Amino acid sequence: MRGLVAWLGTPIGRFVRDVVEGAIAGAVAAVVALQLDVATPKVILVAAVTGAIAAAIAVARRAIVNTVSPTGPTQPSGGL
């Protein structure tokens, strides 16, 4: 299990994780469409495309964060 966790920390592992998260988002959108009785093949296709877009946004966001702050995002310190 530690090997998998370590692999998910690599750039390719993060990419795969983002794609899987996008696919899950698309699946959730498809299930919601089914529950609303509006699930036509076109709606399911749009849900899948939405998941792919979500994955692309996650990959781009991670790339931008790594470019701006190579050490990764941190929580701001201090209070109000």
Q: Give yes or no for a contact between 41 and 17, defined as CB atoms under 8 angstroms apart.
A: no
Tell me how many domains the chain contains: 1
7 falls within a domain: yes
75 falls within a domain: no
23 falls within a domain: yes
> From first to last of its 80 residues, what are the pLDDT tens digits of the chain?
788 888 878 878 888 887 787 777 777 777 777 777 766 777 777 777 777 787 778 778 877 877 777 665 555 555 55
Which range of residues forms the domain containing residue 15?
Answer: 2-68
49 falls within a domain: yes
Residue 8's contacts (CB-CB under 8 Å, 6 or more residues apart) are 14, 16, 17
Q: How high is the pLDDT of residue 28?
A: 78
73 falls within a domain: no
